[in-house]
């Protein structure tokens, strides 16, 4: 419907706007703890949504402006590849065929996965697209799926007043995220009243006379009924690769619908490239942007290739989680001897001043060379802190490089320096093992 894709229109940007507002609302309610007594704090959801929509509108307008400034022709319509160098576009004005002189780039992104029995109705059974635009806070919200999208949006509505239920099919939340990090997030969700079911499958629902929903879930094989007012289905995203004409022109599509590409973002068909979510995990906006840059460089005849050793990821739960590089499990699976350093935010002055002391920074280093292999952060502003760690991996930094970099005091960034030092037994502000 609009330029900017999922991220800008109903993904990353609007959800982070709501997350920021929910955090502010929570802080306002708790201000008395530090002597800031605010009375009459009220939640105006309509104003919040209008403000969020204003941000989205400004950014989508920015995309349009960039396209125009770079003399790109933007066409609103449905596209289908008809040959190795032609695309048929169907729009309100009819059909037209575009001929590519150099290349075709597929950047169709991904779409929300629906599950049988819980088809979206836009009112009580919703997906992420509807969840970022609610004009009323549900009294009781069930989130099916304990992944990134589900927990981020679930946290928003929990802070804004919803009683939160989460049903996750796996034995743990947040997929492959460092389990030490997810435990911190799960603990805080429960502390604030969330009910979390793991090894749980959503089976069906019925509507009660009062309009609420009775949802049946199966927890480790045993049925249980949850009474809620709204269900958010957040079980992941699927590649938007159907009906593009890919198979007809010979482009390989895997069993999950992703388009395999090489390091240059090229498909198996010369002249056709794929970037972003449609080309496979990780499904991250910044990964998609970087792939777009790489494909453009390659098409222009320059040398460029993917190298994701320093590809960070961020999860905007409470507290936030961010990571880059290997996990402990990945290193061990590869037979790499490692040293692990940890520094908790509970002993960091800046975190105390912010009243956000949950979590830690974990540094994984090669046992012999002390090269940094991975960094995992759960805590305040983890998403902002991870960039230094990503640079460390990109530059193949060693623990000593981080230790010798003077970090200003008091800041959250000191935790990374301390965790690096702790990995080799040289921490100053925490006991070494």
CA 88, 91, 92: angle at the middle one, nearest 5? 150
Q: Which secondary structure element, helix H or strand E, spans residue 180, and what is its range?
A: helix 179-191
Half-sphere exposure of 224 (CA within 13 A, CB side): 16
Q: How far apart are CA 346 and CA 358, in angstroms?
A: 6
> Distance from CA of residue 1 to its chain's centroid?
22
- Residue pair 134/160 in contact by the 8 Å Cβ criterion: no
Q: How many CA atoms lie within 13 A of 97 on its CB side?
A: 8
Phi, psi of 226 (to 5 degrees): -115, 130
CB 336 within 8 A of CB 373: yes
DSSP-derived pairing of the beta strands 230-233 and 125-126: parallel
CB 167: neighbour CB atoms within 10 A? Answer: 26
Opening angle at CA 405, ends 375 and 364, nearest 5: 20
Beta-bridge mates of residue 126: 232
Q: Is 407 a catalytic residue?
A: no
CA 389 from centroid of its chain's CA atoms:
18
Note whether 189 and 319 are within 8 A (CB): no
Contacts 24+ apart (CB under 8 A), 215-218: 215/142, 217/167
Q: Which of 172, 192, 286, 409 is catalytic?
A: 409
Supply the residues annotated as catalytic: 409
């Amino acid at each position: 419907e609009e330029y900017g894709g999922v991220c800008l229109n109903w993904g990353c940007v609007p959800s982070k706007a709501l997350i920021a507002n929910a955090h502010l609302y929570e802080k306002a309610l708790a201000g008395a703890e530090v002597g800031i007594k605010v009375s009459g704090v009220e939640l105006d959801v309509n104003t919040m949504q209008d403000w969020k929509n204003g941000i989205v509108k400004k950014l989508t307008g920015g995309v349009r402006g960039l396209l125009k400034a770079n003399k790109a022709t933007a066409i609103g319509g449905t596209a289908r590849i008809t040959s190795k160098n032609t695309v048929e576009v169907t729009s309100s004005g009819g059909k037209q065929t575009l001929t590519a002189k150099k290349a075709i780039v597929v950047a169709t992104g991904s779409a929300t996965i629906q599950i049988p029995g819980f088809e979206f109705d836009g009112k009580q059974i919703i997906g992420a697209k509807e969840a970022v635009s609610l004009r009323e806070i549900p009294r009781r919200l069930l989130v099916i799926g304990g992944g990134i999208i589900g927990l981020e949006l679930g946290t928003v509505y929990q802070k804004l007043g919803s009683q939160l239920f989460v049903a996750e099919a796996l034995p743990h939340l947040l997929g492959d995220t460092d389990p030490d990090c997810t435990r911190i997030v799960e603990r805080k969700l429960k502390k604030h009243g969330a009910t979390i079911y793991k090894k749980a499958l959503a089976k069906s629902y019925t509507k009660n006379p009062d309009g609420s929903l009775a949802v049946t879930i199966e927890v480790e094989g045993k049925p249980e009924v949850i009474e809620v007012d709204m269900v958010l289905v957040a079980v992941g995203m699927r590649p938007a690769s159907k009906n593009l004409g890919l198979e007809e022109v010979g482009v390989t599509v895997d069993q999950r619908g992703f388009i395999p590409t090489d390091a240059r973002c090229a498909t198996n068909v010369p002249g056709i490239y794929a970037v972003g979510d449609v080309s496979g995990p990780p499904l991250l906006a910044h990964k998609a942007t970087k792939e777009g840059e790489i494909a453009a460089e390659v098409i222009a005849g320059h040398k460029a290739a993917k190298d994701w050793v320093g590809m960070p990821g961020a999860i905007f739960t409470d507290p936030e989680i961010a990571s880059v590089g290997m996990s402990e499990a990945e290193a061990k699976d590869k037979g790499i001897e490692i040293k692990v350093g940890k520094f908790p935010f509970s002993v960091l002055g800046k975190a105390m001043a912010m009243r956000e002391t949950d979590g830690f920074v974990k540094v994984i280093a090669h046992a012999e060379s002390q090269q940094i292999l991975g960094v995992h952060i759960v805590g305040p502003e983890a998403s902002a802190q991870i960039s230094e760690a990503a640079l460390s991996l990109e530059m193949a930094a060693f623990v000593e490089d981080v230790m010798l970099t003077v970090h200003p005091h008091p800041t959250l960034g000191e935790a990374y320096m301390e965790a690096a030092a702790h990995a080799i037994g040289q921490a100053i502000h925490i006991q070494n093992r």
